[in-house]
Structure 1
């Protein structure tokens, strides 16, 4: 019922403004009448009424602006809710698809049957397509684009687990805002990705919402938001998907679920093509 109260408030302000406007007109007429004795009094009354009209107009403008801001906030909340619902639906489906793909791949490889050449070629093409789509889509769907150029401000990278013993990850592909990410991650950063993210099957979120600090130096210090999620299917561990953006408010909790969803699609494709 709040909207009804705001509606009648606006109607009352309109009526009051109209009545006062009429009063200003009447006062100006009386103040200009040569036969009317107290012209100065009505002149002052007209000035006061005109000032009140200005105040009412300003109040009505402020009320309209609050209404617009409230509408914008409601749209933003609805959009976030829709995104969360969508991602919370997609994430378990992609995880289940990855596990099924890994089980199928293991059964096929254990059978000893060779992969037909045509299938191997198709697998490479599909993996390239899925990888490119995921990286490009993630870079676009996370941080808002640059307001001037319209280009993505985020970048997304897929790091393949190269050597678990050395905690080493190799960059396989990336998309989004330059500069490009580092070619490999190892040392303490690689250990963090391997043990905390990939083996633990746990996303890592850097930004204002989490309060965490990045443990991965991705070539440029301008990236203050980072999300790293495991790319795994069943028991198979393939690597880590990472997205980063310049502001610590760019990547939110909703983006973590989105990253988990697309990482599951990557993992399912890898399980069927490797």
Structure 2
């Protein structure tokens, strides 16, 4: 309340002062225009001074308005970030729990030796394609801001499935977002990083200004400087790693890590039900 009174009280005083000065400019101009007025030169000087002060007051009011607009923009941005964090922190445990339930259901169904009906198998394949495409496209769009000139995504999201654990080998299954496309296989030291540091430990890896880390997949990349990699796992089942990358070190924030964990949980739950 005090801030509101201070802000709008200041604006009211500026308006009042500006009005008085405008009236003074009018009076002095009238006096200066009278032939029989003795101090015409003084009136002209006073009128000029009053007009100059009016300009200064107007500029001060404009600056105050711009400051209030910038403050409002920052408040909206903070509210959006807070909403995003709240949403992701709610979605993440739900997607994790869904994945665990799906994995338990899948294990129980597999142990029953019941055959999957053909119609169900077809539906599972279609639904997995839908979920995978939605997650990859959504992650690419919801992380880094789009290119201002083209409106296209600047981030790129990729799903790597674990192909050979002994060789630390991951194979690209699908991707969406900015071109060029990601590499088709990750193995060697980079694959070991994905397997041990991310998938097995279920620990997200974040590259960017918030962490100061660089990519272990391609430390010298010139096409991306921000990376988030999270495990795609449901219960005891480990499927692969979901990776999003963007060109600037400031593109992917800490809030995006929880978002990626949440959508990776949805991928894992779908995989558990459709494998």
TM-score w.r.t. length of structure 2: 0.97
Confirm or deny: 8 A CA contact 1:87 1:258 kept in the other structure: yes
Distance 1:215 1:147 in 2: 29
Q: Provide, for residues 242-273 of structure 1, a one-character-per-residue CA deviation record: whole Å limited to 9, x for no partner.
A: 01111111111111111000000000000111
Confirm or deny: 8 A CA contact 1:142 1:154 kept in the other structure: yes
User: 3-state SS of the aligned residue for 2:166?
Assistant: coil
In structure 1, the partner of 2:59 is 58
User: 3-state SS of the aligned residue for 1:237?
Assistant: strand
How far is 1:163 from its partner? Answer: 0.8
1:221 and 2:229 equivalent?
no
User: 3-state SS of the aligned residue for 1:211?
Assistant: coil
Distance 1:221 1:87 in 2: 30
In structure 2, the partner of 1:207 is 208
In structure 2, the partner of 1:8 is 9
1:236 and 2:231 equivalent?
no
Query: How many residues get paired?
Result: 274
Confirm or deny: 8 A CA contact 1:179 1:220 kept in the other structure: no
User: 3-state SS of the aligned residue for 1:226?
Assistant: strand
Could you tell which deviates more after superposition, 90-99 or 143-152?
A: 143-152
Confirm or deny: 8 A CA contact 1:231 1:237 kept in the other structure: yes
Q: Provide, for residues 211-237 of structure 1, a one-character-per-residue CA deviation record: whole Å limited to 9, x for no partner.
A: 111112299522111100100001100
How far is 1:208 from its partner? Answer: 0.8
Distance 1:237 1:75 in 2: 39
- Cα gap change, 1:219/1:75 in structure 2, threshold over 3 Å: closer, same or farther? same
Could you tell which deviates more after superposition, 106-115 or 58-67?
A: 106-115
Distance 1:172 1:221 in 2: 24
Where does structure 2 lack aligned partners over 5 or more consecutive residues? none
Distance 1:258 1:147 in 2: 23
TM-score w.r.t. length of structure 1: 0.97
Where does structure 1 lack aligned partners over 5 or more consecutive residues? none
Confirm or deny: 8 A CA contact 1:182 1:218 kept in the other structure: no
Confirm or deny: 8 A CA contact 1:181 1:219 kept in the other structure: no
User: 3-state SS of the aligned residue for 1:178?
Assistant: coil
Question: CA RMSD, aligned part only?
Answer: 1.2
Distance 2:15 2:182 in 1: 59
In structure 1, the partner of 2:260 is 259
Confirm or deny: 8 A CA contact 1:155 1:178 kept in the other structure: yes
Distance 1:262 1:234 in 2: 15
